């Protein structure tokens, strides 16, 4: 049964984890005469959180020096068959595997090879005993970062001393409990450097990308990347444990979440609730599960904005945000903004008129090329449709985007916009970005209006105060 031993999660958390492996194989992915190294070794986590392996080769034929020419010409993408994979059996009999890495080789005093390298992630799989009646799915994540969540539940700790003669009980409100997609979720902020996520589903056949999509949905709700370090996934009797190298902490990002990370008062009954956070999570999860790409296009844009907001220049954030909005219009609203039949006829008339011109052919072809672009939907046209016909966004939001996008794209760090207005435009475009996602996924409810002074809580759709 693949699993981490007692206290191994804590060892991974504090970067002291290591395993001895009596048998290891590192093999090149090429199908023709692949380099293969056998021997014993170890896998551990370094002080900076990286998974590292070391293999002591036991075969003389593997003592040749590493040849970097096999990676291809400089300036070109390294081909897939240049990468290596690892399989190992540790001292406890667990089978581990990792893929797609580039090792380094060294010689020992006896002339044998020693391989070392960094691994992105490491996994072990297996089956629970058949006598255990297991069904459904369990997912558990450990995130080694300081992340804030909305709290609607408490965790209880009990302590017993003197053989149970003295007991104490304490609790703290540090958990978010909710249901979505026929699954139970429990997210707990254990400490300032540990967030745990537990998911229990009775559904046997969850979508293949469900583990990735639920993390993307949580990231959207809390407005912050979630770079987990450990994942355990049980489906029926099958179990898989994955450990990842720790990414740098992104605690300095300036991007804000769409909802305040606290309970929101329900205007109908006056009670504070995390229901709106659950609703936003559920809408995002269900919408993105319809896409079969590994990372949903919306998450790609969100991730780019998160990274840019951690940069030293707010110009980088402005440029990435405005381009992400334009890209979002294309990926999620591709059917909007096309010219009408009357407009297409007019464009065709102009093209035919130019065809009769006897001037420079080069200029003629350039003019026809420019006119042909008029038949394609433009971001501004999509924005106008969403603002004027569908009321998904406001006209002022569209104007703010145009005001920020053009100088950010064509005059980077030289926009000519005064800093106070520049910051306001970024905040207004942030709300626009969220509203486009709200409309795409079908969310209706409260949101933080970062484009207004005081960042009031308002209703979407519309622009009235949440009360």
Q: What is the DSSP annotation of 262-294? A: S-EE-TTT--EESHHHHHHHHHHHHHHTT--SS
Surface-to-core class of residue 160, CB atoms within 10 Å of its CB (0-12 exposed, 13-18 middle, 19+ buried): exposed
User: pLDDT (tens digit, 9 = 90+) per residue, 14-25?
Assistant: 999 999 999 999
73 found inside a domain: yes
Among residues 136, 20, 8, 18, the alpha carbon closest in space to that of 89 is found at 20
Indicate whether 164 belongs to any domain: no
208 confidence band (pLDDT: 50, 70, 90): very high
Burial class (CB in 10 A: 0-12, 13-18, 19+), 27: middle
pLDDT of residue 60: 63
Lowest mean pLDDT of 84-93, 159-168, 205-214, name the range.
159-168
Residue 1 located in a structural domain: no
Where does a domain end: 66, 100, 124?
A: 124
Are 279 and 313 in the same domain? no
Q: What is the mean pLDDT of residues 32-60?
A: 90
Q: Kindly tell me if the per-residue pLDDT of 219 is higher than 90.
A: yes
Higher pLDDT, 238 or 351: 238
Average pLDDT of the residues in 241-245: 96
The percent of residues above 90 in pLDDT, for the chain, comes to 60
Residue 13 belongs to some domain of the structure? yes
Instruction: Based on the fold, state whether residues 304 and 425 are members of the same structural domain.
Output: yes
**What is the pLDDT at residue 131?**
85
The pLDDT assigned to 248 comes to 59
- List the structure tokens of 68: 């970097």
**Same-domain status, 420 and 382:** yes
pLDDT of residue 69: 47
Instruction: Point out the domain boundary residue: 288, 314, 348.
Output: 288
CB atoms inside a 10 Å sphere around CB 371: 15
254 and 313 in a single domain? The answer is no
The CATH number of whichever domain residue 21 belongs to comes to 2.30.110
Helices marked H in 169-274: 210-222
**DSSP letter at 354?**
H
Model pTM score:
0.88
Rg (CA), the chain: 28
> What is the average pLDDT value for the chain, to the nearest integer?
88
* Total domains, the chain: 3
Domain span at residue 239 reads 137-157+170-288
Q: Are residues 330 and 407 in the same domain?
A: yes
Average pLDDT of the segment spanning 227-231:
95
pLDDT digits (tens, 9 = 90+) for 293-345: 888 999 999 999 988 887 667 888 899 999 999 999 999 998 887 777 777 77
């Amino acid at each position: 049964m693949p699993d981490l031993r007692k206290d191994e999660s804590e060892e991974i958390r504090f970067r002291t984890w290591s395993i001895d492996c009596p048998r290891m194989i590192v093999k090149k992915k090429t199908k023709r005469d692949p380099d293969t190294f056998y021997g014993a070794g170890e896998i551990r986590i370094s002080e900076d959180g990286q998974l590292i392996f070391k293999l002591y080769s036991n075969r003389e034929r593997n003592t040749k020096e590493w040849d970097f020419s096999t990676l291809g010409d400089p300036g070109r993408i390294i081909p897939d068959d240049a990468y290596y994979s690892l399989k190992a059996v540790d001292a406890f009999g667990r089978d581990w595997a990792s893929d797609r890495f580039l090792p380094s080789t060294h010689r020992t005093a006896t002339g044998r090879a020693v391989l070392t390298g960094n691994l992105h992630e490491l996994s072990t799989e297996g089956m629970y005993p058949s006598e255990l009646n297991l069904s459904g799915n369990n997912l558990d994540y450990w995130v080694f970062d300081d992340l804030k969540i909305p709290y609607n539940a408490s965790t209880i700790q009990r302590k017993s001393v003197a053989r149970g003669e003295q007991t104490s009980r304490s609790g703290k409100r540090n958990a978010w409990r909710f249901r979505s997609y026929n699954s139970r979720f429990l997210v707990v902020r254990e400490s300032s450097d540990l967030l745990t996520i537990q998911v229990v589903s009775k559904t046997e056949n969850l979508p293949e990308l469900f583990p990735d999509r639920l993390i993307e949905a949580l990231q959207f709700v809390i407005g912050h990347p979630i770079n987990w370090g450990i994942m355990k996934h049980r489906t029926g009797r099958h179990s898989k444990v994955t450990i990842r190298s720790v990414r740098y902490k992104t605690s300095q990002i300036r991007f804000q979440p769409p909802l305040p990370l606290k309970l929101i008062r329900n205007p109908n009954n006056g009670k504070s609730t995390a229901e709106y956070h659950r609703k936003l999570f559920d809408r995002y999860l269900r919408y993105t599960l319809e896409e079969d790409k590994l990372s949903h296009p919306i998450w790609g844009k969100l991730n780019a904005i998160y990274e840019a907001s951690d940069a030293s220049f707010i110009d980088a954030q402005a440029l990435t945000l405005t381009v992400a909005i334009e890209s979002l219009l294309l990926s999620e609203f591709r059917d909007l903004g096309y010219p009408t039949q009357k407009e297409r006829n007019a464009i065709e008339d102009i093209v035919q008129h130019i065809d009769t011109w006897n001037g420079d052919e080069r200029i003629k072809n350039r003019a026809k090329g420019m006119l042909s672009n008029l038949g394609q939907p433009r971001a501004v046209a999509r924005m106008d449709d969403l603002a004027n016909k569908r009321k998904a966004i406001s006209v002022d939001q569209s104007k703010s985007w145009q005001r920020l996008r053009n100088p950010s794209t064509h005059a980077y760090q030289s926009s000519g916009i005064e800093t106070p207005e520049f910051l306001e435009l970024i905040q207004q475009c942030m709300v626009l970005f969220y509203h486009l996602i709200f409309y795409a996924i079908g969310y209706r409810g409260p949101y933080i209006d970062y484009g207004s002074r005081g960042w009031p809580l308002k209703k979407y759709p519309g622009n009235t105060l949440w009360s």
